[in-house]
Amino acid sequence: MRIITWNIRGLGSASKIEAVSRVVRMNGADVCLIQETKMDSMSVELVRKIWGDDCFDFKYVAAVERSEGLLMIWDKGSFLAEVDLCERRIIAVAGKWVAEEKAVTLVNVYAPNSLAEQKMLWEEIYGLRNQFCKAWIIGGDFNAMRNRSECINCSSTEKGSKEFDEFIKRCNLVDLPLIGKKFTWFGPNSKCSRLDRFLV
């Protein structure tokens, strides 16, 4: 099972579409989770350009005033979707992973920056755990850090980190470690942090 997650910060240009398509092809992805498409609609033609063939299905959430926006694409031969939920900050698709004949729920997340809104999202995701099958794979941009070691020269709140850490534990999820680098976001003035991750 090969899953890619990428906060693309705008999918509207040909160069961004080609960049995602290249990563999908190079890694032989079965699933692609994209955050911040900044697009208010998503055509089959555009998704086909990303995926490279017709053996795909997808779900998307439109951007709000040219910000946000989610897209999930998967190989129909690898994953058979059965039920889905698409909301402003999440796409959840439950189905069967064909190779292992196992029920699994795939979730694409783009969390807000506001701590209050984050807490609401964590509660929403926790509630969904009772509605969908228990084998979960959640990927995306959580805009949150579990502890101070996950950031350099960035502002982080102890409360936000604690709530995020408690959410992960409460859902009985495992935070997969990064391989090759420690951070996923890099900003000006040598700022860096780990905002993107997979929870399983």
- Across-strand partners of 96? 80, 103
**Does 141 count as an annotated binding residue?**
yes
Q: Cβ contacts of residue 51 below 8 Å, gap of 6+?
A: 21, 24, 32, 73
**Does 82 count as an annotated binding residue?**
no
Residue of 11, 26, 15 lying closest to 68 (CA atoms): 11
Q: What is the 3-state secondary structure (H, E, C) of 72-90?
A: EEEECCCEEEEEEEECCCE
**Does 189 count as an annotated binding residue?**
no
**Does 130 count as an annotated binding residue?**
no
Q: Which residues are annotated as a binding site?
A: 7, 36, 141, 143
Q: Which residues are annotated as a binding site for Mg(2+)?
A: 7, 36, 141, 143
